[in-house]
Every structure is written in C-alpha cells, then in structure tokens.
Amino acid sequence: MRVDGTPYRSIWLDGGGTVTIVDQTLLPFEFATRPLHTLEDAAEAIAAMRVRGAPLIGATAAYGLCLALRADPSDAALDAACERLLATRPTAVNLRWALDDVHSHVIGRPPDERMQAAYARAARICDEDVAMNRAIGEHALGLFEKHWKEKGGKGRLNVLTHCNAGWLATVDWGTALSPVFQASDAGLPVHVWVDETRPRNQGAALTAWELRSHGVPHTVIVDNAGGHLMQRGEVDLCIVGTDRTTAGGDVCNKIGTYLKALAAHDNGVPFYVALPGPTIDWSLDDGRDIPIEERAADEVTTLRGVAEDGRIGSFRITPDGSGAANHAFDVTPRHLVTALITERGVCAANRGGLEGLYPE
C-alpha cells in the first residue's frame, strides 16, 4: 500500500540481509521504520507488537530464522531460534506454520547453504501472503457488491470491523480490509465503522490510519457501540480477520470479536471472517483448545495519546493499585459465522467447507 504516495510493505529485505519493518507501536502519531539485525531483534519486534497480525507475525518469524542462520547456521542454532520465536506470541498459528516451513526447507541442506535458502523461502512467504490477501479481497468484493444491490444501490454500504486486519497485519493488502480497499477503488460507496479495539486500540490507531491513508470514509466508535448500530440498521455486514481458525470453523480473533458476532447474529447482520490458508489450524477442531495469550495489565490500566502540550505519552486511567486482566483474544463459535472468506473462495465455517477448499 502507499504512505504519502510511496509504496510500502509492512516488512521487507534491505541490502546486506537486514530486515526492515514498520514500527506499529508509533502509529498513528509517527510513521517510522525499524531495522532488524538479529534473531533477538525479530523476537522483540513480535513480542512488543512492533509487528502484529497473524500473517505478519509469521513473515517476521521467517525472517527471524534468516537472521539467526546468518549468525550461526548449525542445527543447534536453528532449533534454538525456532524455540525462541515460537515463545513470543502463543495464539497466532501462522507463527508456527512459518517456522515449520522455513525449517523444513533448510534442515536437509549443508550449513553453508542454509542462510541463502532461508532468505529465499522467507521472501516467497511474503510474496505468497500478498497474493493470497489480494485474492481474499477479490472474493469478498463479490459479497460486498451483493449486499450493496440488496440495499437497492442507494446510500452507503456500512461495514463494521474489529481490531486491525489491514495491510499492517499482513505483508500487504490485509485480510478483512482487502475487500474494503478494493471496493473503494471500484467506486462502491463503502463506509467503515471502526471499533477502537481496547486495550491497545488497534482499530482507532491502525485501522483508522490505514483507511484515512487510502481515502476510505470511516468513523471510529467505542467497542460497545456495535450492537446499538446494528439495532438501528446502520450496519450492513461485519468482517474481521483471525489469528487462528480451527478445522471445524471456530474463529479466534482479537478480544471483543465474539461480542460483535453475538450482536450480529441477534440482528440478522452477516458476520464474515477473512483469512489465508496458513491461518487454519488443521490440528484443532474445537476453538476451546486454542491457547489464549494473556498480556500485561498495564495495557489495560494506561492509554497512549497526545497531551495538550503536544507530547506523546502514556497515561494511567485506573486507580493506583487496581488490578487488570488482559486476555488478548476470544473465540467465536462457528455457528455465529456467516462464511469464511479465503484466497481460494468462500465457504461455510465448518470442516466440510474448509476441506472443500483445501482438499490436500
């Protein structure tokens, strides 16, 4: 995508083997890039959420292995690097998928060939992610157009999304936002209700920033406003991404997604989930078996923003000494999902639907 007219991906390879990312912890107040020189740089970027979103976490982990092999191409170093990266974020299945993918492509090679093979595979993972996300948008665009026609082709198509599943969550295009960008480019009058997405406010900070940069009309709303808007008929469809979807169709996504799905179900609003194939966890059927990451309490008890004097900082919003729970994800049961939208097409949120698209 473009930032001030310049094309960017969320992660890319610079000369000399250095990996560069967009540091998402600084947005929306500052757009800055950050070099990753070592395995530990990559692990820190994932754990600190300088990069986030399941596909981008996977891509960063793949390049993290490259950086590790550049320093030491031995079997022991490779295994240690996989273990270090796997421990950074437990919920996103793309992390393990990318590590397994790169590992399988290098383990049978002589040590002096491993670094080059790893870089080639990581680059391919990134390119494939871009292609998959573009295809997701193309498939979902047909659904957007269908719902627009059902409205009589009048007014605007109101889409509600949660968290950030745009190009910042992937290598480019995004999952849930890919059809939004494509619909806007095609002239469809799309408007997005953007959940703020506490506690890290990825909707208000990242999704709103992406939509503004692309010129897509949008309105930031508090997390609990979605049900009210649906009751008033002001939401035509919901679309979200996912960090892990089971083979049975249960969807794990940013905390609060489940509540949106419940409200959508109660109000007859279609609830779609956009995902690439690597986000499917074929080893699990029941979403209750997905490990749910718990993050630091200070993400709940503080807010980051711009003060009256223009300084950017963090501010405590709870009484001193109050505890806080910070579950990063929840699971939406398959029966609340209207359809899954993948790079291979649209299917029901169940094993039969997914196996129909991914028979291998």
Report residue 92's pLDDT band, with 50, 70 and 90 as the boundaries.
confident
What pLDDT is recorded for position 17?
86
In the predicted model, what is the mean pLDDT of the chain? 96
25: Cβ contacts below 8 Å, ≥ 6 apart: 48, 49, 50
Q: Sort 80 into a burial class: Cβ within 10 Å, 0-12 / 13-18 / 19+.
A: middle
Give the integer Cα–Cα distance in Å for 108 and 225: 53
What pLDDT is recorded for position 5?
85
Average pLDDT over residues 47-61: 97
Average pLDDT over residues 130-159: 96
Q: How many CB atoms lie within 10 A of CB 212?
A: 12
335 pLDDT above the threshold of 90: yes
118 pLDDT above the threshold of 90: yes
Task: Tell me the domains of the chain and their CATH numbers.
Answer: 2-128 (1.20.120.420), 141-357 (3.40.50.10470)
Taking only the tens place, the pLDDT of each residue in 267-318 is: 999 999 999 999 999 999 999 999 999 999 999 999 999 988 888 899 999 9
Residues with active-site annotation: 243
Relative to beta strand 345-347, strand 339-342 is: antiparallel
What pLDDT is recorded for position 90?
86
Relative to beta strand 2-3, strand 6-7 is: antiparallel
Taking only the tens place, the pLDDT of each residue in 198-223 is: 999 999 999 999 999 999 999 999 99
Region for 268 from its dihedrals, namely left if φ exceeds 0, alpha if ψ lies in -120 to 50, beta otherwise: left
Q: Is 9 helix (H, G, I), strand (E, B) or coil?
A: coil
Tokens of 178: 């890919």
Model pTM?
0.95
